[in-house]
Amino acid sequence: MVLDRAGEPLREMTREEALPGDGEIAIDVTACAVCRTDLQLCDGDLPARAMPIVPGHQIVGRVARVGANVTSWRAGDRACVGWLAGACGACVQCKRGRENLCEAARFTGWDRDGGYATHAIVRADFALRTPDAFDDVDAAPLLCGGVIGYRSLVRSGIAPGGKLGLYGFGASATIAIQIARHWGCRVFVCTRSKEEQARAKTLGAEWSGGYGDLPPEPLDAAVTFAPSGDVVIAALRALDRGGTVAINAIHLDRVPQFSYDLLWWERNVVSVANYTREDARALLELAAKIPIRTTYETHPLAGANVALSRLRDGEVRGAAVLVP
Ligand SMILES: [Zn+2]
Ligand SMILES: [Zn+2]
């Protein structure tokens, strides 16, 4: 399923099967979860970096072929890959263990073709092992929503037993709350939909309300998932002194002007950009241990446009997963 131009529906097409190059593997895709970032790319909110492009960066499948100089994978291995398609390995950021900030980093379904397809070619050293605890469809929503949700929790500085706010309650927050509860955190959820407020409570939120509601106690940390600057300010308003808001969004509509009083007393606002392979491996291990339960609806690959429009309309509960 190919995006030719932002604002147009994806087009179904057949291509000759490509072969993996040096250091690459070809994956037969068995599941690819749909991320909000895919929607932002298709709608033009996120500027395209390559076009035409096959979107999709939560890919699970089996290794079909290995390219030259690949020793760590064999045909038939279960493999998955997320948003980070590659990094240079040589720059200051890569050397500091922050490959998520590498200026030469490449992204799946943005710089190179992704998983809205029957096959995908990925860098062998950026592919991940799918944990045995998960079948392919269950694992797919972990790869972006889960991994970046995990990095957001780390960036928020939330400590075990701390008071955490989650602003927005889509696929990523559904996973983040399970990690936070595993860490013994008290969780407060703000989200627009009453249905999601109720669902948050069934997943262990102590309290839930709308974006305009203030949680009953000041928060140690908050993670915002909505692509809205107003929601960031709402989260900032709910923080205790010294608390942090981590923004889990690649695209934000705007940052509204706000009173310095909201930031004073060493409150922090931080962004969360991508993830490192170390984050991904840590999340997949933790997900198997907890174990995290993903909720999703499945769509056939050719139904990718339906899945995207359901996500746009806020109709997807949990994640949408494409199954070729
Ligand atoms: Zn680098
Ligand atoms: Zn994503």
The three-state DSSP-derived secondary structure of the chain is: CEECCCCCCCECCCCCCCCCCCCEEEEEEEEEEECHHHHHHHHCCCCCCCCCECCCCCEEEEEEEECCCCCCCCCCCEEEECCEEECCCCCHHHHCCCHHHCCCCEEECCCECCCCCCEEEEEHHHCEECCCCCCHHHHHHHCCHHHHHHHHHHHHCCCCCCEEEEECCCHHHHHHHHHHHHCCCEEEEECCCHHHHHHHHHCCCCEEECCCCCCCCCEEEEEECCCCHHHHHHHHHCEEEEEEEEECCCCCCCCCCCCHHHCCCCCEEEECCCCCHHHHHHHHHHHHHCCCCCCEEEEEHHHHHHHHHHHHCCCCCCEEEEEC
Taking the model in full, what pTM does it have?
0.93
Interval 67-79: pLDDT, tens: 999 999 999 999 9
- Closest ligand (CA of 87): 1
Interval 240-272: pLDDT, tens: 999 999 999 888 999 999 999 999 999 999 999
| pLDDT for residue 25 | 98
Ligand 1 centre and the CA of 93: distance in Å? 6
- Closest ligand (CA of 141): 2
- Closest ligand (CA of 35): 2
- Confidence band (pLDDT; 50, 70, 90) for 115? very high
pLDDT higher than threshold 90 for residue 23: yes
Helical packing angle, 145-156 and 171-182, nearest 10°: 50
Ligand 2 centre and the CA of 189: distance in Å? 21
For the chain, the first-to-last Cα distance in angstroms comes to 11
Ligand 2 centre and the CA of 48: distance in Å? 15
- Confidence band (pLDDT; 50, 70, 90) for 171? confident
Ligand 2 centre and the CA of 260: distance in Å? 32
Ligand 1 centre and the CA of 273: distance in Å? 14
Ligand 1 centre and the CA of 105: distance in Å? 6
Interval 32-62: pLDDT, tens: 999 999 999 999 999 999 999 999 999 999 9
How many angstroms from the chain centroid is the CA of residue 178?
15
- Closest ligand (CA of 109): 2
Ligand 1 centre and the CA of 302: distance in Å? 36
Ligand 2 centre and the CA of 309: distance in Å? 16
Ligand 1 centre and the CA of 274: distance in Å? 13
Ligand 1 centre and the CA of 159: distance in Å? 30
Ligand 2 centre and the CA of 266: distance in Å? 30
Ligand 1 centre and the CA of 70: distance in Å? 21
Ligand 1 centre and the CA of 91: distance in Å? 4
